[in-house]
Structure 1
Amino acid sequence: MIRPSAVLLLLALGLAACDAGFDGSASDNRLPETELSVRSTDLREDLGARRLISTVDVAWSGTDPDGVVAAYDVRSFQVDMPLAAEVGWARTTRRDSTIRLEIPVGASVADVVVEVRSVDDAGGVDATPARTVFPIRNSNPTLRLIDAEAPPDSTWPVVSFSLAAADIDGEENLAGIEIALNDTTAGYVRLPADVTFLTLVAEDPRATTTEATVYTGRGFRNSGISLPGFALDADNVVYFRAVDAAGAPSRTLRYPALDDEGSAVRPFYVRRVTSDVLLVNDVRGVPETLDLGAARDALALYGTANYDEWDLSATPQPIVNARFSDALPSSPDPTLRQTLALWDRIYWVSNAVTNTAVGNNLPRAATVMDLFFENGGRILVQVRVTLPTGTDTGGTNNAAIDILPLSTLISYPAGVTALRADSGTPVRPAEEVPGTGRTLPPLEAVAAVRTTLPYAVGPEDIPLYRMSFYENNQRDNVWQGPEVVASIRSDRRTALFALPLFTSTSPIYGGTSSEGGPLDALALMLDGLDFPTTAGRTARR
């Protein structure tokens, strides 16, 4: 018996003996051949006066008589600028591609050669590449502004635009987005072609004329580009256009656009910031409210003489299809986030916050107030507390509840549909307002209280006022739940004053001592939030 290893050895020896009787050399490698799917070698002859767009679909194939085609080399060049034999090739294993044929800058047409050569598994290349001349034309790009994200008619010096550029020759043919502010004679600045959202931010929001820094994307990236001539407390105009690789521009867009008579179709007024304090009128559906007047009076009593006002009240708030104020930026992030950070202190007066996040302005703002707080901002919210309605039954979708100094809204026990308080009900001071060493002045209802509710506070919240209520219309059924109607966070970041001050034109509360009334309470809460003052705070202490 012969072992397997011996068989292998005998076979090897036998093969060696056979080889010894032959002479010669291996045959030379035969080069592959290539074909394009476009059979014509010069499409100018086939198309006559017609031309193709600069992005073309090309397919190819190759054959190798003594092996296989492993790859293809592809290149293109202007017909009147031929390349050397081994210059400009790009290797691929694909058998088709969408190719953007370059048109010289400033030209509208070009004749471009596309060549493809096969590469076999031995590294040999087709010595006679397949070739076609493509007559092409350049198409101007297009650009449009997204109307749904246009700035408000009157806005603060953080202004965003959403836009969409396109190019029939292929998106890769876009070279950039160009923008000019108020004056095109000084030229445009160019942004990357992939910019679809940009924000102009005043470098000095308190100047009358300043530069605008351009930020791109919703991630708010500083482009390093500034535009001169940003006019504050004035109307502005922004010009946009897209430019392609051949230098062809889109139609120039003007914002705001002009009508047939040459007048702006809408205002574009940019306001100047004049103070560290912002008073927000968010009392919707009422032209001018006494509650807002009380806020102005409280600021004056406290000694804050200068402040900006932002009117969010003009947009109606329907029960069905609720909507945010038209005066708010359409994009919370980054536009509203950066706008709110223009101030150090905010006094927000509203008539609807806790009932729903849908269409209410403060819940929308609260989602992006992180930068305001990170910069040391503080806010006083003056609004009655009401229970959530609709789908937001637990208030869990309302970001305003997260920032306010309350832990939870109350819930009614079975059979309870409302809480009331009568005229004569005391509003009892609770703990001291931090930083002041004082409690709020005692108040007393001088009219029935039917439009606000008490709430519960958490361990980080300081109750400032408590008030007793009764259930439904039964005075003997005293409400046993939370009684807080004003509070402040222990970090003095936010404060809530939940007492509506007027019914029609009549006050609801009055003071019961020489310590003052509701305005004095509001002024002391401003003190607890360290609002700036030019006079009065030291004297009151």
Structure 2
Amino acid sequence: MIRLLLVLISALLLFACTEDAVNNPVGNQPPNTGLFLYPDSTIAPQPSRLRVHWWGDDSDGLIAGFYINWNNSSWDFTPSNDSLFALKIGANDTTYNLKVSAADDQGNNKFDEQIIRNAIDFGPEPFIDENGNGIYDDGEFFYDIGLIDPTPAEFNFPLKNSAPTIDWNELSFVPDTSFPVMSFSWIADDIDGEETIISINIALNDTLNPDNIIELDGEVRTITIRTDDFTAQNPLMEILIEGQENNIHPEPLPGLVFDDFNFFYVQAEDISGAKSNFIRLPESTPGDQWYVNKPSGTFLVIDDYGVNDGAQSFYANMFDSLGLTGNYDVYDIRNLEPPFKNVTFLETIKLFDYLFWYTDNNPSLDLASFSTQKYLTRGGKLAYSMQFPQTIDPVELQSFIPIISDSIDVNVSLLPGTEISSDTTDNTYPNLELTLNVFRVKSFYLNPLAANPIYYYPNGELKGFTGFTNSEVTQFFIALPLDRCNGGEGNVKQLFEKVLFEDFGLVP
């Protein structure tokens, strides 16, 4: 009897408990979330590339995906369990905060335009936009979001700012001596990302006076500085960004000293105000120097002559005899070749109104081709005494002298006494005669629309013309060394008087 009573009581209790569980179900529970860094990830003073792994646990269902939030910004959905992030430094040492909340799949079996969970608006349910129209269309797959973890997994990632670095581009140097034109190039970097460099600071000679430092955009890596103000001992320098005439920095660079040694400094600065050390050219290597000459006048002699045979003395004496002593300058482009030579050379010769360019058999044709027409276009006037190597590119020559490119005549050598005449072309130019052998001599047929023929070989040593001007008479060219053309009546002085004074208008 007692046993039967116990069985009945147990049955009643079981029925009561079962009925309570059915009438009062527990309901869907939100998932839990965890996260950790992969072992090969690092948190370092750099744009840290961090692979973060997370997981979700749902006791009564499946995980649909995860919502991610950086620094309390918007929440983004991902179905993945990990991702690679690049965290970049800000204006100061920075801490990034990451929150991850798992979402279960116990949704309402329809697409929702708005999901609000835990008082947070997560936006519409994530979906796969198969037609790319940016909105959900019936039939497209969507993640049916149920509950979202109200206590996200959270991690702080501290990043420490590092100062930028700067070094000279391997092509950047300064010659011993120059006129007030020079180009500089550097390499700037920052472990926090090159884009964090917001300014490049440059200076001449003095980095202690803040008024002497000019701030350039952080992306600038190459400049050319120049001045044509020769009235001041300390002129202001124009700054050509990337050497471009149409991109001149609005603020000039002070600090240059004429007829003295100078130093150029550059520094990188990042968004936080951290600065690299200043680097300078010339560097501290013994013997390195950069002396800046103030031009003496408007006439420049370009010495493109590497042979020690007395040519330099001949021209120095010749220009002295013309009354130009102290009123012209010499630019030795063999021994004082500038960096980034095309733009630096062009900006240098533009400081002068008149040029005489003499060469040996290895002329700087690249410079002549690049600069001649640009110089003439801006109003300059230029005379050449040019020799050539055995082989030349006639198209390159045609780029700076008015010749027909496929009409070059060649003679291996000419003897002393060879006559060069202008009798039947323009006898206002004096006849010339060689005093020494000349080798690898060339003559040309001219473009009749662009050239005035002057000098030829009356005895037929070469066909065509060896001397001529352009049609505007702003360019004179002779394919001979004038220091070896002063035989007979010694007419080279008369030729210079004709070309420089009469044709070009140079005033001695």
TM-score, length basis structure 2: 0.72
Map 1:345-494; keep pairs closer than 5 Å: 345-352=354-361, 360-384=363-387, 386=388, 388-389=390-391, 392=392, 394-396=393-395, 398=396, 400-408=397-405, 418=412, 420=414, 423=417, 425=419, 427-432=421-426, 439-445=428-434, 452-459=441-448, 460-469=450-459, 482-494=463-475
Q: Does 1:177 align with 2:200?
A: yes
1:186 corresponding residue in structure 2: 209
Map 1:24-35; keep pairs closer than 5 Å: none
Q: Does 1:271 align with 2:245?
A: no
2:97 corresponding residue in structure 1: 113
Q: Tell which structure's C-alpha radius of gyration is larger.
A: 2
Of the structure 1 ranges 229-238 and 365-374, higher mean CA displacement relative to structure 2 is found in 365-374
1:442 shift after superposition: 3.1
The change in CA–CA distance for 1:486 and 1:411 in structure 2 (over 3 A counts) is closer
1:22 corresponding residue in structure 2: none
State the secondary structure of the residue aligned to 1:522: helix
1:408 shift after superposition: 3.6
Question: Is the CA contact 1:423–1:449 (under 8 Å) kept in the aligned structure 2?
Answer: no
Question: Is the CA contact 1:302–1:524 (under 8 Å) kept in the aligned structure 2?
Answer: no
Q: Give the counterpart of 2:180 among 154, 157, 164.
A: 157
Per-residue CA deviation, residues 49-90 of structure 1 (Å, 9 max, x unaligned), is xx6224222456798989976x966433xxxxxxxxxx6448
Q: Does 1:341 align with 2:340?
A: no
Q: Give the counterpart of 1:57 among 29, 49, 58.
A: 49
Of the structure 1 ranges 445-454 and 126-135, higher mean CA displacement relative to structure 2 is found in 445-454
Map 1:61-76; keep pairs closer than 5 Å: 74-76=69-71
The change in CA–CA distance for 1:192 and 1:298 in structure 2 (over 3 A counts) is closer
Map 1:77-156; keep pairs closer than 5 Å: 88-89=73-74, 95-102=83-90, 104=92, 109-115=93-99, 122-124=113-115, 125=122, 128-156=151-179
Q: Distance in 2 between matches of 1:138 and 1:510?
A: 77
Per-residue CA deviation, residues 84-130 of structure 1 (Å, 9 max, x unaligned), is xxx644869895431214352xxxx5544234668997443265554
1:143 shift after superposition: 0.7
Q: Distance in 2 between matches of 1:37 and 1:395?
A: 69
Q: Distance in 2 between matches of 1:468 and 1:530?
A: 27
1:158 shift after superposition: 1.6
State the secondary structure of the residue aligned to 2:442: coil
2:255 corresponding residue in structure 1: 229
1:178 shift after superposition: 1.7
Question: Is the CA contact 1:207–1:272 (under 8 Å) kept in the aligned structure 2?
Answer: no
Q: Give the counterpart of 1:331 among 340, 343, 349.
A: 340
1:243 shift after superposition: 1.9
The residue type equivalent to 2:328 in the other structure is Y
1:440 shift after superposition: 1.1
1:203 shift after superposition: 5.9
Per-residue CA deviation, residues 141-171 of structure 1 (Å, 9 max, x unaligned), is 2110124221222112121111001112222
State the secondary structure of the residue aligned to 1:368: helix
Q: Distance in 2 between matches of 1:424 and 1:165?
A: 59
The residue type equivalent to 1:427 in the other structure is S
1:212 corresponding residue in structure 2: 237
Question: Is the CA contact 1:115–1:129 (under 8 Å) kept in the aligned structure 2?
Answer: yes
Of the structure 1 ranges 422-431 and 366-375, higher mean CA displacement relative to structure 2 is found in 422-431
Segments of 5+ residues of structure 1 without an aligned counterpart are 1-28, 41-45, 77-86, 313-324, 354-359, 433-437, 470-477, 535-541
Of the structure 1 ranges 200-209 and 236-245, higher mean CA displacement relative to structure 2 is found in 200-209
Q: Distance in 2 between matches of 1:422 and 1:39?
A: 85
The change in CA–CA distance for 1:424 and 1:233 in structure 2 (over 3 A counts) is closer
Q: Distance in 2 between matches of 1:463 and 1:298?
A: 25
The change in CA–CA distance for 1:193 and 1:265 in structure 2 (over 3 A counts) is farther
Q: Distance in 2 between matches of 1:268 and 1:422?
A: 42
Q: Does 1:239 align with 2:238?
A: no
TM-score, length basis structure 1: 0.68
The change in CA–CA distance for 1:101 and 1:75 in structure 2 (over 3 A counts) is farther
Q: Give the counterpart of 1:195 among 195, 220, 223.
A: 220
Q: Distance in 2 between matches of 1:193 and 1:215?
A: 15
Equivalenced residue count is 431
Q: Distance in 1 between matches of 2:502 and 2:493?
A: 14
2:476 corresponding residue in structure 1: 495
Q: Does 1:285 align with 2:307?
A: yes
Q: Give the counterpart of 1:309 among 311, 330, 335.
A: 330
Question: Is the CA contact 2:455–2:466 (under 8 Å) kept in the aligned structure 1?
Answer: yes
1:266 shift after superposition: 0.5
1:182 shift after superposition: 1.2
Q: Distance in 1 between matches of 2:227 and 2:382?
A: 24
State the secondary structure of the residue aligned to 1:243: strand
Pairwise CA RMSD: 3.9
The residue type equivalent to 1:343 in the other structure is F
1:199 shift after superposition: 2.1
1:229 shift after superposition: 1.7
The change in CA–CA distance for 1:445 and 1:251 in structure 2 (over 3 A counts) is closer
State the secondary structure of the residue aligned to 1:380: strand
Q: Percent identity?
A: 23
1:431 shift after superposition: 2.8
